[in-house]
Amino acid sequence: MVSVLPHSDQPKHRIIIHAGFAKCGSSSIQGTLFQNLKRLREDGIFLFDKNLRVAEDYASLGTPLWVLEDAKRKREPLSQRLGGEIAAVAGANRQCIGVLSAENLADPKIAELFSGLDQEIEVCVVFYWRPQLQWIPSAWQQWGLKKGMPLDKFVSECIETRRPSYRLSIEKWKSVLPSAESHVRLLIAELLHGGNPAHDFFNLLGLRAERFDIPNLARNPGLDFALLHVLSKNPQLFSDVHDNRLIRSLRAALPTKFLSTNIRMLSLEQEARIEECFRGENLWLLKTFCSGIDIDEIYRAHFTPQKTGMRYSDMKEPGLIYRCLGILLESIAMNSDPATSGARFEDRIPPLPNWE
């Protein structure tokens, strides 16, 4: 088992930096870490909180996104701050491991703030990345949709700016912390320990999953494609791209069968453009960090356009709107009567309507 924890002949103290990437299982990993704060502390593993300090209790938990953004704006070095936090809690512990996780750690300008940290303490940097054919629709749901941006335009912007920039971020961290160990994990279920990122991260920490509360469900499940379409037409429902209140409420109210996209969001033409744009970077990532797997097979299965059934791009506007209305009506009916069985409505909405 690969582990980022020190062995008996290694230094006692270490910092694990989970540097990304956004939309690559970060919420699952962070939520599971927070959920197991007490047990992790008992094992000498300490989490950095929303203020970039070692978390003492559940109240301070959160990712230090805005502290990191503020430090980037001020160009404030953070190495001594992190090392000092770990030294303060180390005491006589047999081992003291600090875990820092935040999606914007993938920003090369934020990585620069940690220069020299690997000279003060042992450091391991962990990345999770996923195929762009999955990442781009997920990122559109998180950010583009809330601005009223059509998916096709978002795809074009990602291709033009080469976003996500996995290689750029990984190589930046390597240049900033040349002595740090790094682990780059591909977010594909069959390649992850336990089949999900939280299980995989805990395994990477050298921890036995059965000792911890590790849920198997996704922390941020998607929404049905028809709901996504209608939300993208109503950006006024969101105060900004970080406003998730409506999405959280929908997730709480919707039947489970509508908590996934249900069809491929990208057209074959979009998938082909994405594959061509990122081909070189993806092959480099696979060959550099994914030893022991059939790279050709993984690439064909997850990084190339796939012939499939109905796609979002095939759907007509009336069909999308009618499906969305049907989902909302079913959800209202199910939630209005506590005695109503979900099975009563289970098959009312056809999974893939084909209105022309």
Q: Is the pLDDT of residue 123 over 70?
A: yes
Q: Tell whether 40 and 92 lie within a shared domain.
A: yes
Grouping H, G, I as helix, E, B as strand and the rest as coil, residue 251 is helix
Q: Is residue 269 part of a domain?
A: no
The residue from 154, 178, 211 where one domain ends is 211
pLDDT at 153: 97
| 354 vs 197, higher pLDDT | 197
**pLDDT tens digits, one per residue of 299-338:** 999 999 998 888 999 999 999 999 999 999 999 888 876 6
103 neighbors 21 (Cβ within 8 angstroms): yes
Predicted confidence (pLDDT) per residue in 177-202, tens digit: 999 999 999 999 999 999 999 999 99
Percent of the residues in the chain that have a pLDDT greater than 70, as a whole number: 89
pLDDT band at 216 (very low <50, low <70, confident <90, very high): confident
- Lowest-pLDDT range, 3-17, 93-107, 155-169? 3-17
Which pLDDT value is given to residue 3?
58
- Let me know whether 186 and 333 are in one domain: no
Residue 354 lies in a domain: no
Do 202 and 332 lie in one domain? The reply is no
Residues 27 and 170 in one domain: yes
Q: Are residues 231 and 129 in the same domain?
A: no
pLDDT for the residue numbered 208? 87
Q: How many domains does the chain have?
A: 2
Q: Is the Cα torsion angle 102, 104, 110, 112 positive or negative in sign? A: positive
The reply to whether 195 falls in a domain is: yes
In a domain, residue 26? The reply is: yes
The whole-number pLDDT of residue 1 equals 45
Residues 23 and 169 in one domain: yes
Domain boundary among 152, 179, 211: 211
Separation of alpha carbons 227 and 262, rounded Å: 11
Answer yes or no: is 176 within a domain: yes
319 lies in the same domain as 192: no
DSSP string, 82-115: HHHHHHHHHTT-S-EEEEEE-GGGGSHHHHGGGT
Q: What is the mean pLDDT of the chain?
A: 90
Q: Is 40 exposed, middle or buried (0-12, 13-18, 19+ CB in 10 A)?
A: buried
Q: What is the per-residue pLDDT for 356?
A: 35
> Within this chain, do residues 66 and 100 fall inside the same structural domain, yes or no?
yes
Does residue 234 form part of some domain?
yes
Summarize pLDDT for 251-262 with one digit per residue, the tens. Answer: 999 988 899 878
User: Six-digit token pair at 333?
Assistant: 């009916």
Whether 206 and 239 share a structural domain: no
Same domain, residue pair 60 and 124: yes
Tokens of 138: 């997920």
pLDDT greater than 80 at residue 218 = no
Predicted pLDDT at 126: 98
273 part of a folded domain: no
Could you tell me which of 154, 171, 125 has the C-alpha nearest to residue 228?
154
User: pLDDT, tens digit, for every residue of 334-346?
Assistant: 887 665 544 444 4
3-state secondary structure of 184: strand
pLDDT at 58 over 60: yes
pLDDT at site 348: 47
Range of the domain at 250: 225-260+315-345
The CATH number given to whatever domain includes residue 53 is: 3.40.50
Is residue 332 situated within a structural domain? yes
The identity of residue 7, as a single letter, is H
Please state the rounded mean pLDDT for residues 88-111.
88
pLDDT surpassing 70 at residue 146: yes
Assign 277 to helix, strand or coil: helix
Residue 180 and residue 242 share a domain: no
Residue burial 60-69, b: 16+ Cβ < 10 Å; e: rest? ebbbbeebbe
- Tell me what pLDDT residue 7 has: 47
Q: Do 241 and 102 share a structural domain?
A: no
Residue 338: predicted pLDDT: 60
